[in-house]
Each structure stands twice: as structure tokens, then as C-alpha cells.
Copies of this chain bind each other. A is one copy, B any other.
Amino acid sequence: MDKKNVIWHDGYVERQERNRYFNHKSGLLLLTGLSASGKSTIAHYIERELFNQNAHVYVLDGDNIRHGLNSNLSFSREDRRENLRRIVEVSKLFVDAGMLVLAAFIFPYREDREYMRKRFEGDNFLEIYVKCPIEICEMRDPKGQYKKARAGIIKGYTGIDSPYDEPKKPDLIIDTEKTDIKNAGQMVIQLLNDRKYLSLD
């Protein structure tokens, strides 16, 4: 059995083979921006578009991460780091499994986003800045979080009493004050085409 082990290890289904099968590169697309800037909305729009084009894609965001894998983490700086680390590691598994991961998270600190990029060694990580003025985000406020932050009920809320470091050189900027969802989605798909993620033929 031990000798066979070696043979079967050679038989592992590697990422490159999965990429060929799905006919697209796997990688991590981070959508970063303020709360209510439109990150998850855009991510799910792209998910649908790419799925309909037979790509294998999955969205990670607060909805499926904070209630599951990271439900035992607070919003302290230390726990935010662990939150980030786990999201990176889970994304690496998905990327290894041949998928395009759309990660929609605020990630307000530049150093956190740089950590992400480094862990992916550059070539299968794209940073998309979902840009929107804080005033517009506050007007949208779908979960009433901004209101609570202004009232001091929530402390350390990004954009209110906690900073958001704007990306200096993101791979793409989507201004959701001016761009509608369809255009936003097309911009991301264009980026994926430009970077030769889609269609390996």
C-alpha cells in the first residue's frame, strides 16, 4: 500500500487540470469598499453571469462567513486579523479546487489587502475597489448599521469612527454612485478577460 501511495499522490487532481476542465483560471477577486457600497450585490451579479457562461464561481461574504466559519470572532483588531487569515485560507482551498472566488468584504486596512495579495503571490489575485461616497452609503443603510454607528450604539464602524484606507493601485475601480449594476458586472468581466482568466482555449 505504501508504494501505491506514491502512485496515487501523482494522480491527485491538480489545480491546472481543474482549470483546463472549467476552461478558466481560478483565483480570488476581492471586492473591497464601505458597507453598503454594493460589494455583495456586484459579486452575486457576476456569480450569475459567470455561472451562465459555465464558469465555476462562488461568493464569500459576511452572510456565509460571519455566521459560520468566523462566528467565533469579534471585531477587535486581533480577531479581524484572524478573520482575514481564515478567509484567505478558505479562498486558497477554493482556488485550488479550480474556482473563481468573489470575496466581498470591507477590509478597510491596506496592510490586510496587501497580505492577501502576497498570500496569492500576485498572479491570481485581483483587487476591485467598490467606491461610493460615505453619504450615499449612509442613505442606503440597508441594515440600519450606519444609523446605529452615528448614534454611538455601534463602535468602530468603518467610515464613521474607524478609517477606510482607499486602495492606491487597485486592479479596477467601480464607482457605484455613477455606475449601475449591469455596467459594474461588465467591468469586472472585462477585467477578467483582459487578464486572461476566462477561456483558456
- Spell out A's residues near B (CB within 8 Å): 1-2, 4-5, 8-9, 11-13, 17-18, 21, 38, 41, 44-45, 47-48, 51, 56-60, 64, 68-69, 72, 82, 85-86, 89-90, 92-94, 96-97, 99, 140, 142, 176, 181
Contacts and interface: CB of A to CB of B under 8 A. Distances in A.
Given A44-B8, A48-B13, A93-B60, A140 B2 contact: yes
A12 B48 CA distance: 7
13 contacts: A1-B176, A4-B181, A8-B41, A8-B181, A11-B48, A12-B44, A12-B47, A13-B51, A18-B51, A60-B93, A68-B92, A68-B93, A94-B97
Given A69-B86, A94-B94, 9 more contacts: A8-B181, A9-B44, A13-B48, A58-B93, A58-B96, A58-B97, A60-B93, A69-B89, A72-B85
A179 to B, nearest CB: 10
A60 to B, nearest CB: 7
B5 A41 contact: yes
A64 B93 contact: yes
A58 B58 CA distance: 15
A44 B4 contact: no
A97 B59 CA distance: 9
A2 B40 CA distance: 12
B41 A1 contact: yes
Contacts of A90: 69, 90, 93
A130 to B, nearest CB: 12
A31 B160 CA distance: 48
A92 B63 CA distance: 13
